[in-house]
Structure 1
Amino acid sequence: MDHRLIPADLSGHGLRLRVWRDDDLAVLLRAVTDPEYLRWNTHTTPVEDEAAVAELLRLRARGWARGEVATYCVTDEADGTVLGHVGLNSLDWNLRCARVGYWTLPEARGRGIAGHALGLVTRWAFDAVGLHRVELGHAVGHTASCRVAERGGYVVEGTLRGAMFASQRRDAFRDLHLHARLATD
């Protein structure tokens, strides 16, 4: 079976999801160095400058080509302003399962953008990609992310102890709330 992921623009709710581009470097750097983003997300290697962001974009492009990730830049459908990110990671083609993640830029928070983007990529994952299960994990205590997950139909399945890096540390861990949706939900 061919497991290539073919990027397709997704639209709805005033949003357009498109593949990240090289000209998005500055906004992506601003996003991944935002203090609130850093409070909840820790990359496996530091992403602190444009060179590291460029490498991140190269890795995402390779991941698309290999069928390992499907990462989208969330933009305003009317004017193209970058608002955030949503993407599938850790694709397991045998189990037809993936993990989804999302974030929004500071100026886009509190407007329902993450939830709408999550809905678009979830529908695409089930209908176009053919996944059976999409998992969503967030740090315990991240109530905003929990609300987005629950509103998106992602059922809480439990807590995974020590399943993610502690904030900005690669030598300490914290617990993760696991949510999931099935294609049959």
Structure 2
Amino acid sequence: MAADREPLHARRFPEPHGEGLRLRHWDPDSDADVADWLRGRSDPEFLRWNTPLLAVADFESARTAMRDYARKEAEGTCAHFRVGDADSGAALGHIGLNTIDRVIRSGRVGYWVLPEARGRLVATRALALVSRWAFTELDLHRLELGHAVGHAASCRIAQKCGFPAEGTLRGAMFGSGRFDVFRDEHLHARLATDPEPA
């Protein structure tokens, strides 16, 4: 099959595993994956801290958003993974490496955890795993992570995974559920040359 006719998933990034987790690409043709994506992206706690540009309100809009991410992955500009339990395979959440810039060798990390998986260090383990993968397999130099000011849990996860706070970006995020209101964002970053966190 010619490269331009390969299925999108055939051209995606490899899937990292470890930390008791199994990461794999979201499958927009899987009803189970779409249902998990919809639950995660419509969860009130997720929406409290994030305002997606593509709203996910129902099954079809979730599938459409997943297909859009799959196209971007095929272009090499992002990598989005379903975070699953290594033993049971149960869905736990999501982690994505967004806006991959091959010239400056950077990327931006984002994650969310399904309600039933919270309190199990899922985001911390997934961030540690994807950070090592991005530095070694993708040869990235810098990873950034941003969260709304006040999101203490995300701040703790970043610090624990070796992403020190670099500052506050004023008015850098949309307000919760709004495109006409802005809020400040904490910026964290980690370099490939930084020591591995304990």
TM-score interval w.r.t. the shorter chain? over 0.9
Q: Does 1:16 align with 2:22?
A: yes
CA contact (8 A) 2:41 2:56 kept: yes
In the alignment, structure 1 residue 152 sits paired with structure 2 residue 161? yes
Higher mean displacement: 141-150 or 38-47: 38-47
CA contact (8 A) 2:135 2:192 kept: yes
- Report the CA distance between 1:6 and its aligned residue: 3.9
Aligned to 1:83: 92
The residue type paired with residue 36 of structure 1 is E
- 1:6 and 1:174 map into 2 onto residues whose CA distance is 34
Opposite residue 170 of structure 1, the aligned amino acid is F
Give the whole-Å Cα distance in 1 for the aligned partners of 2:102 and 2:171: 26
**How far apart, CA to CA, are the structure 2 residues paired with 1:157 and 1:164?**
16
Q: Quote the Cα distance in structure 2 between the aligned partners of 1:178 and 1:165.
A: 15
Counterpart of 2:91, as a letter, is V
| CA–CA separation in structure 2 for the residues paired with 1:36 and 1:112 | 16
Write out per-residue CA displacement over residues 25-59 of structure 1, whole angstroms, 9 at most, x where no aligned residue. 11111111111011011111321111111111111
Name 2:113's counterpart in structure 1. Answer: 104
- TM-score for both structures, normalised by structure 1: 0.95
Identity of aligned residues (%): 55
Q: Bigger CA drift: 9-18 or 116-125? A: 9-18
Provide the TM-score with structure 2 as the length reference: 0.89
**Residues in 1 aligned to 2:23 and 2:55: alpha-carbon distance in whole angstroms:** 26
The DSSP-based 3-state class of the residue aligned with 1:100 is strand
| Runs of 5+ unmatched residues, structure 1 | none
Which runs of structure 2 are paired with 1:114-125 in the superposition (5 Å)?
Answer: 114-125=123-134
Task: Name the residue aligned to 2:62.
Answer: 53
Residue in 2 that maps onto 1:133: 142
Q: Once the 2 structures are TM-superposed, how far is the Cα of residue 7 of structure 1 from its aligned partner? A: 2.4
- 1:129 alignment partner, SS class: coil
1:170 corresponding residue in structure 2: 179
Return structure 1 stretches of 4+ with deviation > 6 angstroms: none
Tell me the distance in 2 between the aligned counterparts of 1:83 and 1:8: 19
User: What is the number of residues matched between the two proteins?
Assistant: 181
Listed one character per residue, the Cα deviations across residues 111-152 of structure 1 (whole Å, up to 9, x for unaligned) are: 111000001111111000010000000000000000000000
AA of the residue aligned to 1:156: A
What is the CA distance between 1:171 and its match in structure 2?
1.1
TM-fit CA distance, 1:9: 2.3
Counterpart Cα distance in 1 of 2:73 and 2:35: 21
Consecutive unaligned residues of structure 2, counting only runs of 5 or more, are 1-10
Displacement of 1:91 in angstroms is 1.3
Partner of 1:183: 192
Question: Residue deviations 1:78-128, cap 9 Å, x none?
Answer: 111100001110111111011000110011111111000001111111000
Larger radius of gyration: 2
The aligned residue for residue 7 of structure 2 is none
**What letter is aligned with 1:155?**
P
Report the 3-state secondary structure (helix = DSSP H, G, I; strand = E; otherwise coil) of the residue aligned with 2:186: strand
